[in-house]
Amino acid sequence: MKTKTVANDVEIAYLDSGAGEAVCLVHGFCGSSAYWQKILPQLEKSHRVIAPDLRGHGNSSVPSESFTVEKMAGDLAHLLDQTGIEKITLLGHSLGGYVALAFAELFPERVKAIGLIHSTAYPDDEQAKANRTKGMDNIQRNGVEPFIKALIPKLFAPESATLIPAEWNLAREIGLQTPAEGAIRTLEAMRDRPDRREILASLPCPLLLVAGKNDQIIAPEKTFTVKGPRVHQVLLEGAGHMGMLETPDELAQEMLSFLSKI
């Protein structure tokens, strides 16, 4: 794990492995680069893989400035500058997909391809916004542990609790490493993010859309919002919201197939 101060007081921790064309794996909310531990060994055989911890997550800092998905995208741009990468393929899980779309809007000339993994270009609806605010209040009052305990069952396919208990425990352990203030500020950033369906539809680059058939967070129809020759859609039959842990081999092969065609 390496760290770089990318701007102001923002210190970003990241993994940098492999060689070849660069791909950046961006984790989801209350996750970290550790989310990709079952995917990374397969991708790094043929690609240089950058896997950061987003601000407020994992081993990265919780900066004093406000959080927005646009600022998270800016952190990535600075990190890529400092690691000598001009153009990148961004594959983002959930929150990471929101950040990838913000990056594509802010830095279109730097995007080689985009992947949304269990993510969406839709903004939060009013109920989702209310739930984000409720989550912020709960963490403020009770800390991050009960929030993570309640979150984990929603992340996985309903039947997976007895099938892959180790993966549930792994996701819980990673989630508990999220600082409470980082989780609160990220909930606010996700709540306030804009609708980027038009950005997604107008992207000229190759696009990978991956959904879990049993996703309890983002339904497949919220992911599969664009079609066309540049779009590759994948439905993971055995996954909920955590394909990188639930069906890692299948997801890695789909990623590699997509990357090979860029």
pLDDT (tens digit, 9 = 90+) per residue, 159-212?
876 777 999 999 999 999 999 999 999 999 999 999 999 999 999 999 999 999
Is residue 241's pLDDT more than 80? yes
Q: How far apart are CA 212 and CA 112, in angstroms?
A: 25
Q: How confident is the model at residue 2 (pLDDT cuts 50, 70, 90)?
A: confident
Q: Tell me, what's the pLDDT at 181?
A: 96
Q: Measure CA 230 to chain center.
A: 21
Judging by DSSP bridges, how do beta strands 22-26 and 2-7 pair with one another?
unpaired
Q: Tell me, what's the pLDDT at 50?
A: 97
Show the tokens assigned to 4. Answer: 């770089």
- For residues 208-217, give the mean pLDDT: 97
Q: Tell me, what's the pLDDT at 122?
A: 98
pTM: 0.95
Is residue 144's pLDDT more than 80? yes
Residue owning tokens 């996954």: 239
Q: How far apart are CA 102 and CA 107, in angstroms?
A: 8
Output Rg (C-alpha) for the chain, integer angstroms: 17
Q: Sheet of 111-117: strands edge to edge?
A: 2-7, 10-17, 48-52, 22-26, 88-93, 111-117, 207-212, 231-236
Q: Tell me, what's the pLDDT at 164?
A: 78
What counts of helices (H) and strands (E) characterise the chain? Answer: 11, 8
Q: How confident is the model at residue 9 (pLDDT cuts 50, 70, 90)?
A: confident
pLDDT (tens digit, 9 = 90+) per residue, 98-127?
999 999 999 999 999 999 999 999 999 999
Q: Tell me, what's the pLDDT at 160?
A: 78
Domain residue limits, the chain: 2-260
Beta bridge partners of 22: 48
- For residues 30-39, give the mean pLDDT: 97
With contact defined as beta carbons under 8 Å apart, do 196 and 106 qualify? no
Q: How confident is the model at residue 46 (pLDDT cuts 50, 70, 90)?
A: very high
Q: How confident is the model at residue 52 (pLDDT cuts 50, 70, 90)?
A: very high
DSSP state of 217: S
Q: Tell me, what's the pLDDT at 57?
A: 97
Q: Tell me, what's the pLDDT at 243?
A: 97
Give the percent of the chain with pLDDT over 70.
Answer: 99
Mean pLDDT of the chain: 95
Q: Measure CA 142 to chain center.
A: 25
Q: Which helix H or strand E contains 82, and what residues bound it?
A: helix 69-82
Q: Which CATH superfamily is domain 2-260 in?
A: Alpha/Beta hydrolase fold, catalytic domain (3.40.50.1820)
Q: How far apart are CA 13 and CA 79, in angstroms?
A: 10
Q: Tell me, what's the pLDDT at 8?
A: 72
- For residues 225-252, give the mean pLDDT: 96
With contact defined as beta carbons under 8 Å apart, do 251 and 244 qualify? yes
